[in-house]
Amino acid sequence: MARRQFRGGFKPVAALLCDPMGEQSTDGRAGDRSRTLLQRASRVIPGGVNSPVRAFASVGGDPPFVTKAEGAYLHTEDGAKLIDYVGTWGPALLGHARPEVIEAVVKAARDGLSFGAATSAEAEFAELVTSMVPSLNGGMLRMVNSGTEATMSALRLARGFTGRAKIVKMDGGYHGHADVLLVAAGSGAATLGIPGSAGVPDSVVADTLLLPFNDVEALEAMCTAQGDALAAIIVEPIAGNMGVIPPDEGYLERMRALCDKHGIVLIFDEVMTGFRVAKGGAQERYGVTPDLTCLGKIVGGGMPVGAYGGRRDIMEKIAPLGPVYQAGTLSGNPLGVAAGLATLQLIEQDPPYEALERSAARLFDGLSQSAAKAGVALTGNRVGAMFTGFFQDGAVHNYEDAKRSNTERFGQFHQEMLARGVYLAPSQFEAAFVSTAHDDSIIDTTLAAADEAFAAIARNA
C-alpha cells in the first residue's frame, strides 16, 4: 500500500509546553524502532496489526509502536510521550492505567485467571450494570468478550424471540465484524473503502436491510412496507463509526414508536456510547429506552468484555432458560469482571460527566476556532466526551454527508498533530475521546499543537 510521507517544517511549541525538561520527545511519528518493529510484525501478522485501522493506511506514515499508557498519555518505542485521544478506542474514560482498576485486576489475577464457573463478582457486576443503564433496570444482562459478540448475540436473540428473520442496520453503522452486520459498515470498513467484506456470502446478509441514519421518512417507509417481518432494528443511538453524528431531534423517539407498533425489537448498540455520554449512555441522554442494549469498551474497563441485556421477557429466551443458544469459555472471567466493576464503581461514586462535558467542549470549541483562524473548512459534531471534526463545510447528519469530508486533509492534520505529540484516531470516520485525565493544561497543549497543525495544512493547501 502506498504511504504518503510527512513533510513540512514546524516549531515544536507542543514540545516546549508538554515537556519543559526536554527529556522526552513529543514527535510521535514512527521512528527507526517502530518502523523496524512494523517490518518484523508484518512478517507474521497481516499488516503487522491485530485490527486493521491501527495500520494507519488512510492517514499515511507508519504507526508508532506503543510501550505503555498512563492517564492521558501513550509512550512509544521511539521514546515519545503523546497526548492520547484514542483512549484504546473508547474504554479509557477514566484515563489509562487508573490505579484502582489495575489493583482490582492484579488482586483478581492472584486467585486465578479463569474458572469457567459462576462467581459472586459476576452477579455484582450484573446488578451494577442493570442499575445504571435505563433499559436494563429490572431486566437481565449476559456477559461476552467483545462488542462484536454482544451485537451478534443480541440479533440472534431478537430473531429467536420474534421468530422473524429480517434485521435493519444503518448505512455507515458499525457493530463489529459479525458476518450478518458486515454490510455498508463504518469504522475500519469505511476507512478502507471496503463496502462489505470478502468472505460474506450474499445469502448470509440477504435478510440485512439498510437505512440511512437520521432519515425518518425512509424509516417510516420501511416499517410500513415490511415492519411486521422485521425482527430488529440495530442502531448506534449516537453514530460513532462514521465519525460522531448525533440523532436528529425526534428520530430515536419515532424509531421507538414504530418498533412498538410493529413488534420489532429495538437494539441500541451502546458499545461506544455506554457510560461515555452519560452514566446510562445515550438512552439516558435522549430519554429513549430500547428493548435490548449492547455494551463493550468502558463496561470492561480496558479488558476484553462485552455484554448485552434488556427486557426480562426477551432475555429469558437465552439458554439455559430458553432456546436461543449463546455461550463463551471466558465469558464473565474474573479479570474482565474486576476491571469493569472497578471502573463502573468509580463512575458511580463520582460521576465524571460534568467535568468531561466541560473539558471536551473546551477542546472541541478551541479546535473549531483554530481551524477557522487558519481558514481550514471543518465541521464538528460533539456529544459529551466524544467528537469528530469533519474536514468539510456542510453539516453532517448521515454517512453520505460524512463521506464528503476531505480525507486527505484529515490525513495531513493527523500527521501534523502526531508530529507535535497528539495521538488522534488514524481515520476521519472515528471519534476522538476525552478522558478525566485530560486536564486543562493538557487541553491547552493540544490546542497549541492544533494551531500550528491547521496553519501548516493551510500553507500546504
Of 269, 291, 401, 451, the catalytic one is 269
Q: What are the backbone dihedrals phi and psi of residue 367, each rounded to the nearest 5 degrees, phi first?
A: -65, -40
Of 174, 286, 399, 423, the catalytic one is 174
The residue from 78, 236, 401, 416 that contacts ligand PMP (CB under 6 A) is 236
The residue from 56, 65, 85, 174 that contacts ligand PMP (CB under 6 A) is 174
In whole angstroms, what is the distance from residue 346 CA to residue 364 CA? 26
- Measured from the CB atom, the residue of 175 and 403 that comes closer to ligand PMP is 175
Considering only 122-130, 172-180, 382-390, 403-411, which stretch makes contact with ligand PMP by CB under 6 A?
A: 172-180
CB of 273 to ligand PMP, least distance (A): 8
Residue 151 found at the interface with ligand PMP (CB under 6 A) = yes
Contact present, 458 and 89 (Cβ < 8 Å): no
Q: HSE on the CB side for 236, CA within 13 Å?
A: 30
Residue 430 found at the interface with ligand PMP (CB under 6 A) = no
- Radius of gyration in angstroms for the set of CA atoms belonging to the chain, rounded to a whole number: 22
Q: What are the backbone dihedrals phi and psi of residue 121, each rounded to the nearest 5 degrees, phi first?
A: -60, -35
Put residue 112 in one of left, alpha, beta given phi > 0 → left and psi -120 to 50 → alpha.
Answer: left
Considering only 135-143, 235-243, 347-355, 409-417, which stretch makes contact with ligand PMP by CB under 6 A?
A: 235-243
CB of 240 to ligand PMP, least distance (A): 5
Q: State the first-to-last Cα distance of the chain, in angstroms, to the nearest integer.
A: 24
Considering only 40-48, 114-122, 203-211, 269-277, which stretch makes contact with ligand PMP by CB under 6 A?
A: 269-277
- Measured from the CB atom, the residue of 61 and 274 that comes closer to ligand PMP is 274
174 a catalytic residue: yes
Distances (CA, A) of 408 to 240, 266, 429: 20, 37, 12
Residue 269 found at the interface with ligand PMP (CB under 6 A) = yes
Cα-to-chain-centroid distance, residue 323: 31
Contact present, 8 and 29 (Cβ < 8 Å): no
CB of 43 to ligand PMP, least distance (A): 25
What does the block give as the cell for 382?
460533539
Closest Cα to residue 421, out of 446, 444, 441, 440? 446
Considering only 75-83, 125-133, 234-242, 400-408, which stretch makes contact with ligand PMP by CB under 6 A?
A: 234-242
Contact present, 26 and 13 (Cβ < 8 Å): no
The residue from 148, 379, 392, 415 that contacts ligand PMP (CB under 6 A) is 148
Residue numbers annotated as active site: 174, 269, 297
Return residues touching ligand PMP (CB under 6 A). 89, 146-148, 151, 174-176, 187, 236, 240-241, 269, 271-272, 296, 306
